Amino acid sequence: MALFDMPLADLRGFMPPRAEPERFDEFWQETLEQARAHPLDPVLAPQDVPLDLVDVAEVTFSGYDGHRIGGWFVRPRDSAGLLPCAVR
């Protein structure tokens, strides 16, 4: 069971003080524009694994500045349609 430092009603209205650096919004705007300048170029490569209940694929795509990012896509075998997802 999760433990919290405040009652739920207080957490819903909690607004901690924040101090954003100068040009914070401009920094993120420029960063997102640079990231979008490269195509994602996604690749989903099925993997041969000794598992009976799931299908596994290696996933790669281009991230910031075109650098490749990788991960694993694991899905119940013989499933169809939309499923819940967890990204870790």
Domain ranges across the chain:
8-76
| pLDDT at site 22 | 94
64-73 burial: b if 16+ Cβ within 10 Å, else e: eeeeeeeeee
- The mean per-residue pLDDT over the stretch 14-34 comes to 92
**pTM of the predicted model as reported, rounded to 2 decimal places:** 0.61
First to last CA, the chain: 20
Burial class of 56 by CB neighbour count within 10 A (0 to 12, 13 to 18, 19+): middle
Average pLDDT over residues 31-45: 91
pLDDT score for 63: 85
Q: How confident is the model at residue 37 (pLDDT cuts 50, 70, 90)?
A: confident
